[in-house]
Amino acid sequence: MKNIKILYIIGNGFDLHHKLASSYWDFMQFIKQEDESLYNLVEEYLQIEDNWSDFEDAFASIDVYSLTEYASIFLKSYGADDWRDSAHHDYQYEIEQVVTHLSIMLKQYFIAWLKQLNVSRKKLLELQKSAQYLTFNYTKTLQCTYQIANKNILHIHGSIKHPQNIILGHAWKPKSNQYVGELFEVSDTEVRILEGNEILEEYFLQTFKPSRKIIKKNQIFFRSLHAVRTVYVLGHSISDIDVEYFCAIVKSTNLRKVQWIVSYHDKNDKINYKKKFQNIGIPRSNIKLIKLSKLKRKKSYE
């Protein structure tokens, strides 16, 4: 692979800058219109603020306590007058219905939403076609708007071109029921509750984003970055979910020689971004923060 001098890291803010209706709010409006019951489940059980990093974090922050409390209505006593054998699975069924909607069905709607987004054809920035691109977006803005070749683009979490490979989820890795196991005292558990816990544990596994595994799978790409001298971070929130990727880039490049040009949205971003980059070892003097709109026709940084 040729020596790459420039790397662009692309986040959702890049698509938003190009007037693509790709915000978390837009997605939720799509869900509300298509499946209001799913929308209500997201509102009730996922703790989300207003952006994509919150949305993906929320998969790991599902309100297990509220869900199991709701499902416990169906934990009828085996000695109850109205007990029936078929009720043995009611508790597990209710939990499974909710987590299936919040994992499998939510992802299906996510893919359907991506397919109906209209990519802008208007170029707002000056991008180098010969550079390498690491994009966290699932859209084809780079290809359609800027005619960047597919060979120069790594869709690290998949692309709408191959929806079956799209990765969406949290960075918290569950370990042997460490989370759901805290809900009940061991002495209080019985087979229905244990089976419900297993369903919840499977949900966490299904919605886990295996960053380290993804990085290992793309080692050829990361190793090719040794000659990079300029990294542009355009529209990425640098969320905790994706920090491992930035660490992999730092390890693959010459730390002292690389200039990082990072776009920001507001004053709080400036403070947070500098702190995050310094935490992963990038010298403060190598970080330049700039508004995305100011990068139009700017070549002096390359």
pLDDT over 70 for what percent of the chain? 85
Compute the C-alpha angle 158/265/145, nearest 5°. 45
Please choose, from the candidates 174, 168, 179, 260, the residue with its C-alpha nearest in 3D space to the C-alpha of residue 207. 168
Domain boundaries, the chain: 6-20+119-162+210-295, 24-116+174-206
3-state secondary structure of 209: coil
Phi, psi of 82 (to 5 degrees): -95, 20
Cα–Cα distance for residue pair 117/30, rounded to 1 Å: 11
Nearest to 211 by CA among 234, 233, 239, 230: 239
The string of pLDDT tens digits covering residues 219-273 is 999 999 999 999 999 999 888 889 999 999 999 999 999 999 999 988 888 888 9
Q: Which superfamily does 6-20+119-162+210-295 belong to?
A: TPP-binding domain (3.40.50.1220)
Residues 204/179, Cβ–Cβ less than 8 Å: yes
The bridge status of strand 6-10 relative to strand 132-135 is: parallel
For 270, what's the count of Cα atoms within 13 Å in the CB-facing half-sphere? 7
Q: Which two tokens stand for residue 225?
A: 């970055």
Q: How far apart are CA 200 and CA 180, in angstroms?
A: 7
The chain-wide mean pLDDT, for the chain, equals: 86
Strand extents, DSSP E, 178-281? 230-234, 259-264
Q: What is the mean pLDDT of residues 101-123?
A: 92
pLDDT per residue over 45-79, tens digit each?
987 766 655 677 777 778 888 999 999 888 877 76
What does pTM read for this prediction?
0.87
